[in-house]
Amino acid sequence: MTAFISRFPEVAKRETRVLETRYPRDGLPAGSYGYLELYCADPTCDCRRVLLQVRAEAQPKTVLATINYGWESVAFYTQLLPGYPKLVRQLKQASLDPLIPQSRFAPLFLRLFQTVVLQDRAYIQRLQRHYAMFKQHLAQEPPASSANDR
């Protein structure tokens, strides 16, 4: 997974979703929290999903939550991941990535993503557009050379 901002810094600066909290909530300090997008860097993969890292503006190097989200239909992910119905449901409704350590605030950020952020249709379309931009950029890159090519 590669950060969208590494390929499209200006777009990411303008279009990264930021959640503002004015008051502490469930132990989370008031502040600004960005949902930074990461996409699959395999040019042959068409998984149509995003990995979102939640980071505080006050501590940008600390990942507070890592959320998997896929915007396509259940049928699409069922075909992509046959035999994994639980994983398909988790991807479709957004879930915390089980392979990455999560902070104690991760469940709160997931809940806010599911109940607030996912209600914004324009944001979901933005994720889809960013995914398409990212994949198009990958397709235009020359293939990486291997040790055998030297």
Q: Output the six-digit token pair for 2.
A: 């590669």
Using the 8-state DSSP alphabet, how is residue 23 labeled?
S
In a domain, 148, yes or no: no
Q: Output the six-digit token pair for 84.
A: 């994994």
Whole-number pLDDT of residue 38: 98
Contact 17, 123 (CB under 8 A): yes
For residue 131, the tally of other CB atoms under 10 A from its CB is: 20
Residue 116 belongs to domain spanning: 2-142
Which of these, 62, 52, 71, 59, lies nearest to 12 by C-alpha position? 52
In a domain, 150, yes or no: no
In a domain, 63, yes or no: yes
| pTM recorded for the entire structure | 0.88
Q: How far apart are CA 4 and CA 108, in angstroms?
A: 24
Say how many Å lie between the first and final Cα of the chain, rounded.
26
In a domain, 147, yes or no: no
Q: Is 40 strand, coil or helix?
A: coil
Whole-number pLDDT of residue 41: 95
Whole-number pLDDT of residue 67: 97
In a domain, 89, yes or no: yes
Whole-number pLDDT of residue 42: 94
Q: How far apart are CA 45 and CA 50, in angstroms?
A: 13
Total structural domains in the chain?
1
Which of these, 30, 37, 31, lies nearest to 11 by C-alpha position? 37
In a domain, 47, yes or no: yes
In a domain, 39, yes or no: yes
Q: Print pLDDT tens along the chain (150 aa).
A: 999 999 999 999 999 999 999 999 888 999 999 999 999 999 999 999 999 999 999 999 999 999 999 999 999 999 999 998 988 988 889 999 989 999 999 999 999 999 998 999 999 999 999 999 999 999 887 766 545 544
In a domain, 149, yes or no: no
Whole-number pLDDT of residue 144: 62
Whole-number pLDDT of residue 146: 47
